[in-house]
Structure 1
Amino acid sequence: MSVAAEAGALGPAGAFALVGALGVGAQWLAWRLHMPAIVLMLVAGVLVGPVAGLFDPAHVFGDLMGPMIQLAVAVILFEGGLSLDFAKLGDARAGVRRLIYLGGPLGWLFSALALHYVAGLGWAGALVFGGLMIVTGPTVIAPLLRQARLPRRPAALLQWEAIVGDPLGALAAVLAFEVVLVAATATSPLAAVGDFAMGIAVAALLGAAAGWALSRGFQAGRVPEYMKVPVLFAVLLVVFAVSDAVLHESGLLAVTVMGVWIANAGLPSYDELRRFKEHATVLLVSGVFILMAASLDLGRLAALDWHAWAFVAVVILVVRPLTATLALAGSAVPWRERLLIALTAPRGIVLVAVAALFGARLDALGIDDGTLLGPLAFVLVAVTVVLHGFALKPLARALGLGGGMPGVLVIGASRWGVAMAEALASLELPVLVADPNHRRLRRARSAGLPVFMGDILSEAAEHSVELVAFGTAVAATDNDAYNTLVATDLGPEFGRDNVYQTAREQEDKARHALPSTLGGRSFGGSETAEVLEQRMIDGWTIGVTRLTEEFGYSDWRDKRPDAMLLGWIGPGGRLRFVPADAEVKSAPGTRLIAMLPPEGPAAPPAEEGARLPG
């Protein structure tokens, strides 16, 4: 049986199941192995596609392959636009404008020169592909930013550049193609320019109008809560299709404008909409990457000579650094952030999908370079995804811009909260103590701990607290309702397994029990914030103990029979708060964090860490 027959025997239903399993499985495996998910998705797609011949997307899906990818990219860009709240841009606003207004044209120019003089393409292919090279791939940069934990400004610069640049890059390629088409077919240049301008205007107006209408409808209660996401999806598809019918690829601009409008409309249900869209985007990104990798033609890749690899090296080492450096020259962006941005430009789905489309169109016009656009795009995407996937976090760490151990956010500046923050700080974990009461923060300031005065859920906190630097949150105020609210709100941001709160009063009684969807995880048994605070007043301390081969958990427990274990940090550096009866992973190198009674015997200095009084 031929490869095509085997691939076709899979069937559309089996193909969808395979794509879903590979995409989500690759993302889960990447999470377990602490690797870039996109790298594993590319590998999985290549293995089941051109290597093993188990799956040929073009054969299985036929003519639906192109529209499927286009619609998926449209949803991804809309979700990206939905995350672009102008109020949250802050001090990155000027840098974003420079990267778009200056960096876009400069990137187009430098990329076209590299394509012509290094890759050996003619000017027609170089201009079309060069315009497309403006894109930096929001589907790639978003997971990389989550992994690297960059500060707000460089993360915002990279994210906004990617999301805004994707539709603009596609439109730049459309403009260049119109120029090539005019030259090849001797049609009227004025008519081509008019069609292009009309397409952009229709896309922008259509996207803004749809965003305005949806926002007004949601705010006025004309759409029930359970219908908001379906209505959003339906309008998104209509806007994309109508705009794309006016000018091909302008639908990407329309859905991006629509997402940005909704993001800045101040909708009460905005968070729910955005989170659902994020979940849909994870599935779509996984699926599209698997489809694109499985569609790879190894024969065309093998036909690429050293010019292609030299072109990729020039793009990474010359074109991108030069473009970003000139665009940000004279701005208020610090040099470390400029360097990080200059060395970070992963490409993604839009580049491969649109390059393949225009490559086929150029080939139909009799321009031989058209067949090279798709393979060149895939090589560039593969190299930049692997390079930045593994290098962004170490680069950020080397520049002092994050990428280190995720910190702990302690909400509540009680004696216990401050003592816990001191213990964690002694382990060289980043900590931040937040409390709206200035007086209660005095103890934390005296201990030299970073503090935030205000409500951690406020807009001020969004602008001034780098939440991305923290991986764990502990709500430990004396207000159970507020702790539950904080833990519930921060759950999607941190992951519900990483959000904790002190035990609530009478939470074991049915009348006071809350559903599992509310609040965070409890730790240390049933000790409430009031009880923990009283223990600190009575002279209890928080101690840190490092386990060794000679001094294990059972030895520690024998010496500290009355100690209350709060959590531990494993040899890999991961912090876990635990219930009182939790099974401790007592591997050598584990550091135990516990409350110690005042009458507890002292452990040997070589085994016991600092005891931190309240």
Structure 2
Amino acid sequence: MTTDEILFGVGLTFVLAVGSQVIAALVRVPALIVLLPAGFIAGALTDDIHPDRLLGAAFQPLVSLAVALILYDAGLGLDPRKLPGGMRRVVIRLIMLGVGLSWATAALLAVPLLGMSGDAAVVLGAILVVSGPTVVGPLLAFVRPKDRLQQILTWEGSLVDPIGGLLGAVVFAAVLDHSDSFGGQVAQFAISLGVGLAGAVVGTMLLWLLLCKLQLSDVLRNCGQLAAVVAVAAACDMVRDDTGLIAAIIMGLAVVHLPGVVRFERRPVSETLVQLIIGLLFVSISSTVTPASLHHVVLPTLGLVAVLVVLTRPLAASLATLGSGLPGSERTFIAWMAPRGIVAAASATTFSEGLVNAGIKGASKILPATFLVIAATVALYGLTAVPVARRLGVTAPEADEHRDEKSR
């Protein structure tokens, strides 16, 4: 690419990332509903926006580091004191049951619906277990549910991303290496988890030094945190794929509890930066999906989405909240909130290429199918979450007052 083409592509990506969010704010819909089609249409009309052309081999590592920053910021906003024992059990069950049931459902249905081989279907299933703060956070900010629901869904969305990312990486490696037994795969997952935890310990110590021992200005403290998260996440990913995500969110959870650190009134990784990163990621990744790749995939994938939305998520939510004491309205809303996000898209981009190169049947359908699942779930939950929450009576009182003021 020429310099002018690169400048045009980078500029257009930023314009779409921010412009889509401006348009969404004006028409009062979640920004994700505008970001995905904006990136897809731009990618279909021009090659200049394609990240593989703009960034080449650097694209995937940059996506991983960007997601690590988002998870670190999400971790800063997670306060265990607002999650008592009963709610904590609900979150753990939601993650365990949600991951297991979503993986099994997607893997089993991908074979007959999408014509995938068992290997490709298992990888697709592992990819689709994630949700994440990139989609749950913006939707909850738009809906403004009661604090208890906000806490449960935020914790679930933030924790399932790194767990799902590790699961996808381990399953992908296992498919390429059929000699590895189930016990070996479990061991690989445990090793990856250990690498992430070790990175989190080192990163937290580094943050303690920056925030508690060195007399730095607020600007340098914030820059130091960004650098520490990126450095630790990069080092972890160099050792084991996607382990940087585990390290990043644990660092975020730990830093606000360090001795001598005053709890942040504003998260140092500013909302502006995170919002910009989300916009850039969704526009960039959606631009990699070509219209031709969607042929013969749309209807089968919508069938898969229907099962995930109508059967799998409600079943997981029902079992996870059983005996929790949550009222039926809140259990129902939890069952109606499971969008897929950027980690799924990033994993699909990486894994599909590797499986295609390995000659795995149906691997070329992983990326378009994942894109459609993300687009369909974001659109469905984004457009219905507010009316569903209001119908169930689970919105916070101040949220209704805020909307009434904006409508006048």
TM over 0.5: yes
How far residue 152 of structure 1 moved from its aligned partner, in angstroms, is 0.8
Q: Is 1:38 the equivalent of 2:32?
A: yes
Residue 180 of structure 1 aligns with which residue?
Answer: 175
Matches within 5 A, 1:563-602: 573-574=404-405
Is it true that 1:396 corresponds to 2:389 in the alignment? yes
Aligned partner of 2:289 in structure 1 is 296
The answer for the alignment partner of 2:200 in structure 1 is 207
Q: Quick one: distance in 1 between partners of 2:294 and 2:163? A: 28
What per-residue deviation string (whole Å, max 9, x for no partner) do you get for residues 458-501 of structure 1?
xxxxxxxxxx6664xxxxxxxxxxxxxxxxxxxxxxxxxxxxxx
Deviation at 1:188?
7.6
Q: Counterpart in 2 of 1:283? A: 276
Paired position in structure 2 for 1:167: 162
Q: Percent identity?
A: 31
Query: What is residue 130 of structure 1 aligned with on the other side?
Result: 125
CA contact (8 A) 1:77 1:256 kept: yes
Paired with 2:154 and 2:245, the residues of 1 have a C-alpha distance of 17
Kindly state the Cα deviation for residue 239 of structure 1 after the two structures are TM-superposed.
0.8
1:384 is aligned, of 377, 383, 388, to 377
Counterpart position of 2:76: 82
- Is 1:48 the counterpart of 2:42 in the alignment? yes
Query: In structure 2, what is the equivalent of residue 140 of structure 1?
Result: 135
Pick closer, same or farther for the CA change 1:194–1:35 going to 2, 3 Å.
closer
What's the offset of the Cα at 1:193?
Answer: 5.3
One-letter identity of the residue aligned with 2:53: H
C-alpha separation in 1, matches of 2:185 and 2:33: 40
* CA drift at 1:29: 1.9
Distance 1:402 1:194 in 2: 43
The corresponding residue for 2:226 is 233
Letter of the structure 1 residue corresponding to residue 31 of structure 2: A
Taking a change above 3 Å as real, the CA distance of residues 324 and 120 of structure 1, as seen in their structure-2 partners, is farther
Equivalent residues of 1:120, 1:307 under 8 A apart = no
Give the SS at the match of 2:163. helix
Contact 1:199 1:243 in 2 (8 A): no
CA contact (8 A) 2:130 2:344 kept: yes
Specify the alignment match of 1:555 in structure 2.
none
Query: 1:575: how far off?
Result: 6.4
Match of 1:29 among 19, 23, 28: 23
Distance of 1:301 and 1:157 partners within structure 2 = 35
Task: Pick one of 90, 98, 103 that aligns with 1:103.
Answer: 98
Alignment-mate amino acid for residue 309 of structure 1: L
- Distance change >3 Å, CA 213–CA 33, structure 1 → 2: same
Deviation at 1:217, TM superposition (A): 4.2
Change (3 A) 1:173 1:575: closer
| Inter-partner Cα distance in structure 2 for 1:292 and 1:392 | 25
The equivalent of 2:316 in structure 1 is: 323
Contact 2:289 2:367 in 1 (8 A): no
Rounded Cα–Cα distance in structure 2 between residues aligned with 1:121 and 1:323: 25
1:191 to partner: Cα distance:
6.3
Amino acid of the structure 2 residue aligned with 1:20 = F
Residue aligned with 1:150, SS: coil
Report deviation, 1:232. Answer: 0.7
Amino acid at match of 1:252: L
Residue 238 of structure 2 is aligned with which of 238, 245, 254? 245
Tell whether the 8 Å contact from 1:182 to 1:192 is kept in structure 2 after alignment.
Answer: no
Residues of 2 paired with 1:347 and 1:189: CA distance?
Answer: 27
- Aligned length in residues: 406
Say if 1:339 and 1:226 are closer, same or farther in 2 by CA, change over 3 A. same
CA RMSD of aligned residues (A): 2.5
Counterpart Cα distance in 2 of 1:181 and 1:396: 43
When residues 294 and 305 of structure 1 are mapped into structure 2, their CA distance, relative to the original with a 3 A threshold, is: closer
CA contact (8 A) 2:39 2:285 kept: yes
**TM-aligned CA deviation for residue 280 of structure 1:** 1.1
Rounded Cα–Cα distance in structure 2 between residues aligned with 1:389 and 1:192: 36
| Equivalent residues of 2:348, 2:366 under 8 A apart | yes
Pair 386,222 (structure 1): closer, same or farther in 2 beyond 3 Å = same
Q: Within 2, Cα distance between the matches of 1:317 and 1:116?
A: 20
Q: Which residue of 2 aligns with 1:268?
A: 262
TM-score under structure 1 normalisation? 0.62
Q: How does 1:392-471 map to 2 (within 5 A)?
A: 392-402=385-395, 407=398, 471=402
Contact 2:65 2:230 in 1 (8 A): yes
Q: Is the contact made by 1:150 and 1:469 (CA closer than 8 Å) also made in structure 2?
A: no
Say if 1:83 and 1:263, in contact at 8 Å, map to a contact too: no
More helix by share: 2
Which amino acid is 2:265 matched to? D
Quick one: distance in 2 between partners of 1:28 and 1:319?
Answer: 34
Query: Where does 1:315-394 land on structure 2 (aligned, <5 Å)?
Result: 315-394=308-387
Give 1:574's aligned amino acid.
E
Shift of 1:275: 5.0
Quick one: higher RCO (CA 8 Å, sep 6+), 1 or 2?
Answer: 2
Q: TM-score normalized by structure 2?
A: 0.91
SS at match of 2:107: helix
Judging changes above 3 Å, is the alpha-carbon distance between structure 1 residues 188 and 160 closer, same or farther for their aligned structure 2 residues?
Answer: closer
| Contiguous gaps of at least 5 residues in structure 2 | none
Q: Distance in 1 between matches of 2:31 and 2:186?
A: 41
Give the partner amino acid of 2:61.
Answer: P
SS for the counterpart of 1:271 is coil
Give the superposition deviation at 1:392.
0.4
Rate the CA distance shift 1:106–1:189 in 2: closer, same or farther, 3 A.
closer
AA aligned to 1:151 is K
Matched AA of 2:197: A
Q: In 2, Cα distance between the equivalents of 1:384 and 1:191?
A: 34
SS at match of 2:55: helix
Inter-partner Cα distance in structure 2 for 1:114 and 1:158: 26
Compute the displacement of 1:213 (Å): 3.6
Aligned to 2:100, what secondary structure does the other structure show? Answer: helix
